[in-house]
Amino acid sequence: MPGKEFVSFDKFIKATKVAKFTDYKGLPSVAVQSEKEFEAMKAHILGYYDGVTSTHSFMLAGDQYIDCVPFAQQPSLRNAVASEKVPATPPSGEVSPADGGVGTPGVPAQPAKVQADIDPFGNARSCPEGSIPMPRLTLETMTRFPTLDAFFGQGSKQAPP
């Protein structure tokens, strides 16, 4: 079983707010190069989740948390929903494999439904209607990179030895 306790979305946000570079520095999987870069990563995560709530969370295999987020709170759609360019709730109907997964032009694609089963902590692996499953972006993931730019694939690549 993954960790000893399930980390709720709210607990994850609180832990991210108080995380310190010294908590991560020197851990085997951590490559973040400085406190400044760590703080940039932390600020990115907190900004990414600003205004986001989770209606339900669950874990997939391999310690990957999934948070069910109301459709309109998706970080990639927040500004578009606020400006009324995208409906606040997903359109009805599902994209079927018969149409090649294309869906309706001009309508944001909806993620495939996660098979409803139970995670190791007893949480249903499905999201309530009106929400979408969103993989949790964590400091553990981001600090595997030396900089925030490197995380986004924009960092300078080191020449091979």
What's the token pair of residue 87? 């409906």
> Cα separation of 22 and 114, whole Å?
37
pLDDT band at 54 (very low <50, low <70, confident <90, very high): very high
pLDDT, position 99: 40
> Are 84 and 124 within one domain?
yes
pLDDT, position 134: 94
- Tell whether 148 is covered by a domain: yes
88-141 tens-digit pLDDT: 555 554 433 444 444 455 555 555 454 558 999 999 999 999 999 999 999 999
DSSP 64: E
Place of tokens 């400006």: 83
pLDDT, position 126: 93
77-102 tens-digit pLDDT: 766 545 555 555 555 544 334 444 44
61-71 tens-digit pLDDT: 778 999 999 98
> Are 16 and 62 within one domain?
no
Q: Is 118 helix (H, G, I), strand (E, B) or coil?
A: strand
> Cα separation of 160 and 36, whole Å?
26
> Are 125 and 150 within one domain?
no
pLDDT, position 94: 43
- Tell whether 97 is covered by a domain: no
> Cα separation of 62 and 136, whole Å?
13
> Cα separation of 146 and 142, whole Å?
9
Expressed as residue numbers, the domain containing 68 is: 55-90+114-136
Long-range CB contact pairs, 150-158, < 8 A, 24+: 151/41
> Are 39 and 71 within one domain?
no
